[in-house]
Amino acid sequence: MVPITVVESELAAQFQQVGPASAPAYERVKNLIAAGVRSGRWSDGQQLPSEHQLVSALGLSRMTINRALRELTHEGLIVRRAGVGTFVATPKAASALLQVRNIADDVRRHGHRHRTEVVHVREESSEVADPELRAVAGPTVFRSLIVHFEDDTPIQLEDRLVNPAAVPHYLERDFTRQTPHAYLNEVAPLTRGEHIVEAVLADSTERRLLRIARHEPCLLVRRRTWSYDVLVSSARLLHPGSRHRLEGSFGAD
Amino acid sequence: MVPITVVESELAAQFQQVGPASAPAYERVKNLIAAGVRSGRWSDGQQLPSEHQLVSALGLSRMTINRALRELTHEGLIVRRAGVGTFVATPKAASALLQVRNIADDVRRHGHRHRTEVVHVREESSEVADPELRAVAGPTVFRSLIVHFEDDTPIQLEDRLVNPAAVPHYLERDFTRQTPHAYLNEVAPLTRGEHIVEAVLADSTERRLLRIARHEPCLLVRRRTWSYDVLVSSARLLHPGSRHRLEGSFGAD
DNA sequence: TGTACAGTCCTGTATATACAGCTCGCTACC
DNA sequence: GGTAGCGAGCTGTATATACAGGACTGTACA
């Protein structure tokens, strides 16, 4: 037995006026909850109404409520724990997502020719790697240093470390024919990733390989990728600021 | 009547060995389709089996198949058109998502104090805006120029244009008390956004406001945000490279 | 006093079913 | 020959139902 509380009838009233009336029910539920979270109506870490309560309050089926809450979880607005409840996620501000694309596709999508030059591909002591990669990789890692070109302009310097346990035949590949990214994705499908983007100045070696001037600002993307919970690769992608940018969008609710 | 084709029995066989066997059915379907797309088994733009065919081939309910395909659509791997079918998305490489957070929360999350200094908030001719904003905004736009501090270090210069039609009382706000981002989110909930990230050098005014040296590289984020299909704001967020970076992750399949 | 267990509430997943709306090809009629 | 319209096949959405398993509470029993 679940009595209709004040909270629930409030919700029912707001439900009528959230977003376009023609939108599907699960969208309107998402808008309702998102509006409540973003306005501070429910604050950080606070428990939201349960699915069952929302079913009673809004007169929808549990599957519809469930879909709305599941998608909001995916979007990072709320956090759910089985057996406990649904809570406002702590970084409550709407977070925006930026898409970091594969550079080869990006170049071709803009109608240019993509090619690579391989500086070296070799085995090195895993002391050059971060602790997490070192832990899973053993005493040595594979390392490739590759320059990506758009037509004949250098556009990315890719310095990549690879876990030999996950990709034993990495050294044998010809990376002028297939990018490391594409090969890794084939051998160990990318299921998780992490990025850090910074603005930096390149050192002299990097400037020479990218053919840029002394004070040209560069976009540095550090990327680590996992395949089914195994850390596969850790890369340092350096782009001349004048020749490359990251684009992306989010939402399209 | 749908006969079991070679394609379908192949799928059924592969279905057994995709990812951990303990994973939920919809996850295994996602892995199956994702593996096929990433391996080139289905190539760019090609049509995938319909939901009905997957139901027959894998012996699952349509809702389960539908959930798998819907989530893959969200992840950008496939494209679906009602009445037509399901197709491999053209930028087929797994695209990674970078989270661009609200700077105030980011600062506080790292245990620092966030405050802002308002340089100016005023009305300007909409000639300063991009065509799309100009089209919806009328002859003038609102513009705010604000410096964000982490403790006492300038960390972001926010130059923002706002659509007066969407946010009529923007000029009256005190942005030392609430950031523009937070206010806009309250008044016109953010439902869609777009970003461009570049590495640039700051001009002399920007250098003075951010208190940085001449050749310090900066991260420039240009962000536009919509609320229910109305363009609300267009911002230029400039960060000193040595003091700020963007972090993010994706997947966690 | 303490431990084991039952009961309850919650989310996570899977299924069957239904109807709506879109797209395209085929057919029958003009 | 051309065209209007019907129907098949597709995705999109909504619902009712079911069971599993996690988390917590309170009680009964040793």
Name the residue closest to C23, CA to C1'.
B83
Q: Tens digit of pLDDT for each residue in B40-57? A: 788 777 899 999 999 999
Q: What type of residue is A33? A: I
- Residues B128, B129, B134, B138, CA torsion sign: negative
Distance between CA B158 and CA B220 in Å, rounded? 10
Asked if A96 and A246 count as a contact pair (C-beta separation under 8 A), the reply is: no
Residues with CB under 7 A from strand C: A 48, 50-53, 62-63, 66, 69-70, 73, 80-86; B 24-27, 59-64, 81-84
Q: Is B248 on the interface with A (CB under 8 A)?
A: yes
Average pLDDT over all residues of chain A: 86
* Inter-chain CB proximity A249 and B100 less than 8 Å: no
Q: Does the reported pTM lie above 0.85? A: no
Q: Which residue has the higher pLDDT, B2 or B56?
A: B56
Q: Tens digit of pLDDT for each residue in B82-91? A: 999 999 986 5
Taking residue A222's Cβ as centre, other Cβ atoms within 10 Å add up to 18
Q: Tens digit of pLDDT for each residue in A153-182? A: 999 999 999 999 999 999 999 999 989 988
- For A92-106, A144-158, B84-98, B127-141, which range has the lowest pLDDT when averaged over its residues? A92-106
Q: Which nucleotide is closest to the Cα of A24 by its C1'?
A: D13
Per-residue pLDDT for A212 more than 50?
A: yes
Contacts of residue A34 in chain B, CB cutoff 8 Å? 189
Chain centroid, CA A31 distance in Å: 23
- The continuous run of DSSP H or E covering B52 comes out as helix B51-58
pLDDT, residue B18, reads: 72
Average pLDDT over all residues of chain B: 86
Asked if A239 and A253 count as a contact pair (C-beta separation under 8 A), the reply is: no
Q: Give B89 to chain A, closest Cα distance, Å.
A: 12
B84 CA from D1 C1′ (Å): 29
Segments of A20-105 assigned E as strands: 78-81, 85-88, 96-100
Selected for mutation to probe chain A from B106, B132, B197 (highest A CB count within 10 Å) is B197
Q: Is A218 on the interface with B (CB under 8 A)?
A: yes
* A83: helix, strand or coil: coil
* Inter-chain CB proximity B20 and A228 less than 8 Å: yes
Per-residue pLDDT for A114 more than 50?
A: yes
Strand order in the sheet with A153-162: A114-125, A140-150, A153-162, A230-240, A217-227, A192-201, B246-251
Distance between CA B33 and CA B137 in Å, rounded? 44
Q: Which long-range contacts (CB under 8 A, 24 or more apart) does B79-85 make?
A: B85/B47, B85/B48, B85/B50
The torsion region of residue A118 among left (phi > 0), alpha (psi -120 to 50) and beta comes to beta
- The continuous run of DSSP H or E covering A25 comes out as helix A25-38
First to last CA, chain A: 35
Nucleotides of C under 7 A from a protein CB: 9-18, 20-24
Taking residue A46's Cβ as centre, other Cβ atoms within 10 Å add up to 12
Q: Please enumerate in sequence order all residues whose Cβ is within 8 A of that of A46, keeping only pairs 6 or more positions apart, or say none.
A: A87, A88
